[in-house]
Amino acid sequence: MDTRAIRCFLQVYEKRSIHQAAKVLFLTPQGVSRIIGVLEGELQARLFVRTPKGVVPTREGDYFYEHSRSFSAQLLRLQLGIQELKRQQQGLRVGFACGVLHVISIEKLQGAAARHPEFRLEWAEDFNENILELLQEGTLSCGFCVGSRAPEGFFRRELFQAPVEAVVYPGHLLYDRDSLSLEDLKGEPLLCLNEHFSIYHNVVERCGDFGFTPHFAVKTMESSLIYQFCQEGRGIGIDAAIHPVEAPLRQIPLRETSPWQVSFVCPQNRAEEPLFQELLAVCSQGK
């Protein structure tokens, strides 16, 4: 079983589409289908059911996803570690928590790195908890993380924050409200990012403060699905106000939630280095 097959499977699973996965992987849909077919043959299990609208994971596919996702993170650590051993010049290895690239400009970061030719820029995107672990291991030089915490011995500076808001479809009783309390969401089917994202825990903890457990009708890894399912009237979306919302959907402020925060994190003893200071300066300007 090779790493390409696992990456291919993860993309198909998360996109629910062979064609969409092929675009991300820079492969043909036929190539993706062939890789998945070989993987299914190796596992002697069907991972997806093909439908006219895309693919649907089987129980075996769900099981393989839950276990291969953590394995993929371990492979990323191994690959970065091997690159470090082979590196002939000092590298700038930057981690981005999922979602951060919506508000941080890679182009500006590349421009800052280009002014320091002694460094070679490399970057990786992963779940926030994995980026923090890679920072602690020393595999990453710095990271753009979500949340208000940093590991002990690390420097953190907040660069960006956005409110967490409800996305409401027309015809819903809450559609015309100027703002909402979390109590207004009690019993409502909610559409939200899953447990790997800070917004999910933000909502669960704050709803707990009001004495109820929120009902998540959908927990996803793709923000775009929140808006798609909301448009279909499947529930109220919960997301940071970092994506454009197309009419007739409305994004309504949630009064009691903590803001979605993006911070620059690096080892404390490197925070004053000129390159890191320049990264802070250009990334503080946003996109």
pLDDT tens digits, residue range 27-74? 898 999 999 999 899 989 999 998 888 899 999 999 998 888 777 777
Q: Could you read off the pLDDT of 170-197 as tens digits, one per residue?
A: 999 999 999 999 999 999 999 999 998 9
Pairing of strands 189-193, 236-240: parallel
Confidence of residue 166 (pLDDT cuts 50, 70, 90): very high
User: Is residue 251 within 8 Å of residue 68, measured between CB atoms?
Assistant: no
pLDDT of residue 211: 93
pLDDT of residue 1: 62
User: Is residue 167 within 8 Å of residue 213, measured between CB atoms?
Assistant: no
Percent residues over pLDDT 70 in the chain: 95
Tokens of residue 44, six digits: 């002697």
Tokens of residue 254, six digits: 């949630």
Q: Distance (Å, rounded) from C-alpha 165 to C-alpha 179? A: 9
Q: Could you read off the pLDDT of 187-231 as tens digits, one per residue?
A: 999 999 999 899 999 999 999 999 999 999 999 988 999 999 999
Q: Distance (Å, rounded) from C-alpha 119 to C-alpha 89? A: 7
pLDDT of residue 167: 97
pLDDT of residue 172: 97
pLDDT at residue 150 tops 90? no
